[in-house]
A and B are shown apart, each in its own frame.
Chain A
Amino acid sequence: MADTGTTSGTGTAGKNTDGTTTDAESAQARPRRKIGEGPGRLIVSLYGLFTVAAGSRSIYQLIAQFHRAPLSYVLSAVAAVVYAFILVTLVRGGESARRIGIVCCAAELAGVLIVGTLTIVTPSLFHDQTVWSYYGVDYLLIPLALPVTGILWLRRAAPGKDETA
């Protein structure tokens, strides 16, 4: 769904296939790496994976068995939308995208923590699993680790912090 192959008008990098930036580039005000490159590309890949996983799961469940556990399936759909939005943000890059990305990762983390806690405290609310049930233990707790990693990465990729290894 997201046009991962294109870079936006403001983010013009991505052509250098060796993955390194020249000294001339890092001397400028730009961060040494775009937020969608280097470790960021791994994060982009994982967000892509979870967009597809949560998205296809919720679409199937909303269509085929909505009556069974409406709250669970709507929550899965919300998770999918959040993942998709962060994915687009990371791919687009740029400073404003970076800020929006941090906010969305925080929202995602809050979602995982709230839904995860609710599934433990009041399991009767949920008649089926969601992506965020039990802090995402069905998905190897990646839903919990991903927003934390995302926030750390986006903070580190801030302009002016050029010392990224």
Chain B
Amino acid sequence: MIGALTVAVTVTALLLAAWCGLATARDQSTKDWHFVGMAVVSVLAVAQLVVGIVKTAGGHKADGGDALFLAYLAGAALAVPAAGFMSLLERTRWGSAIVTAGGLVLAVLEIRLFDIWGGGHG
């Protein structure tokens, strides 16, 4: 369950990064549809956070430690909303660049999460 969500968040985060990277290259700020995209990624990340909390409460021990695991989950859930907030403040191509960075950061966080959770056997 959490493995599938990790893959889903990673893929959508990378798509979001590419999409907003394109907007940056075209000298465009983030538009409404970009925010819909950010919402989709964020909902998936929040779902992952909830599932992670439930599994941890249910007794699963993350390889890297529960505190680290939950901290990364929280960070992953906050990455794209924070980037979206900054891009609302910055209505230029650089706002799009911020969301691109947010998507890439989230993808990296997901890879770390996969390791912390316990790799293949989760």
A interface residues with partner B (beta carbon < 8 Å): 14, 17-20, 37-39, 41-42, 44-46, 48-49, 52-53, 56, 60, 64, 140
Q: Are B98 and A45 in contact (CB under 8 A)?
A: yes
Q: Are B98 and A140 in contact (CB under 8 A)?
A: no
Mask, B82-98, CB within 8 Å of A = 1, is 11001001111011011
Given contacts A41-B90, A45-B83, A45-B101, 18 further A-B contacts (CB under 8 A): A19-B29, A19-B90, A19-B92, A37-B90, A38-B90, A39-B94, A39-B97, A41-B94, A41-B95, A41-B98, A42-B98, A42-B101, A45-B86, A45-B102, A49-B105, A52-B75, A64-B67, A140-B108
What are 25 inter-chain pairs, A to B, with CB distance below 8 A? A14-B89, A17-B89, A20-B92, A37-B90, A38-B90, A38-B92, A38-B94, A41-B89, A41-B90, A41-B98, A42-B90, A42-B97, A42-B98, A42-B101, A45-B82, A45-B86, A45-B98, A45-B102, A46-B101, A49-B105, A52-B75, A56-B71, A56-B75, A60-B71, A140-B108
Residues of B within 8 A of A56 (CB): 71, 75
CA distance A53 to B75 in the complex (A): 9
CA distance A14 to B105 in the complex (A): 26
Total contacts A to B, CB within 8 angstroms?
Answer: 47
Question: Chain B residue with minimal CB distance to A48?
Answer: B82
Residues of B within 8 A of A52 (CB): 75
Contacts A41-B98, A46-B101, A49-B105; A17 near B91 (Cβ below 8 A): yes
Q: Are A41 and B67 in contact (CB under 8 A)?
A: no
User: Which chain B residues numbered 27 to 53 have a C-beta less than 8 Å away from chain A?
Assistant: 29
Residues of B within 8 A of A17 (CB): 89, 91
B68 sits at the interface (CB 8 A): yes
Residues of A within 8 A of B75 (CB): 52-53, 56
Minimum CB–CB distance from A25 to chain B (whole Å) comes to 16
Most buried by A among B29, B75, B92, B102: B92
Residues of B within 8 A of A41 (CB): 86, 89-90, 94-95, 98
